[in-house]
Amino acid sequence: MTTLITPNNSINLHPPHDYHDNHYRKTDVTQSDSSKDSAFGSEETVSGPVQIAVLTPDEQNSNRCSEKGSLPDGEAQDHSKELGRICTWADLPQWMRDNPAILTGYRRATYSYQKCVRSLWYLHNETVNIWSHLLGAVAFVIIAPLAYFKVLEIVDTVRWTDIVVQYAFLAGAIVCLSLSASFHTFCCHSEKVFSQWVRCDYLGIIFLIVGSYYPALYYGFYCQSTLQILYISIISILGGATIIVVMQPRFQTPQYRWVRSALFLAVGLSGLCPIIHGIILYGFVLAQKAVALNYIFCMGAAYVVGALIYGSRTPERFFPGKFDNFMASHQIFHVCVLIGCTIHFLGMIKAMNFWHTIDHSCAIPLDQMRTMFTQ
Give the contacts of 192 (CB within 8 A, at least 6 positions apart). none
What is residue 265's predicted lDDT score, i.e. its pLDDT?
75
What is residue 119's predicted lDDT score, i.e. its pLDDT?
97
CATH number of 117-374: 1.20.1070
What is residue 83's predicted lDDT score, i.e. its pLDDT?
54
* 330 appears as a binding residue in the annotation: yes
- Ranges of residues in the chain with a pLDDT under 50 are 1-80
What is residue 196's predicted lDDT score, i.e. its pLDDT?
93
54 strand-pairing partners? 25
Give the contacts of 295 (CB within 8 A, at least 6 positions apart). 343, 344, 346, 347, 348, 350
Query: At how many degrees (to 10) do helices 191-220 and 257-269 cross?
Result: 20
What does each C-alpha distance from 251 to 76, 101, 102 come to in angstroms? 43, 21, 21
Give the contacts of 297 (CB within 8 A, at least 6 positions apart). none
Boundaries of CATH 1.20.1070 in the chain?
117-374
E strands, 39-167, are 41-44, 50-54, 86-87, 106-107
Spatial CA neighbour of 331 closest among 28, 62, 124: 124
* 184 appears as a binding residue in the annotation: yes
Q: Strands 106-107 and 86-87: what pairing? A: antiparallel
Q: How many CB atoms lie within 10 A of CB 354?
A: 18
Structure pTM? 0.76
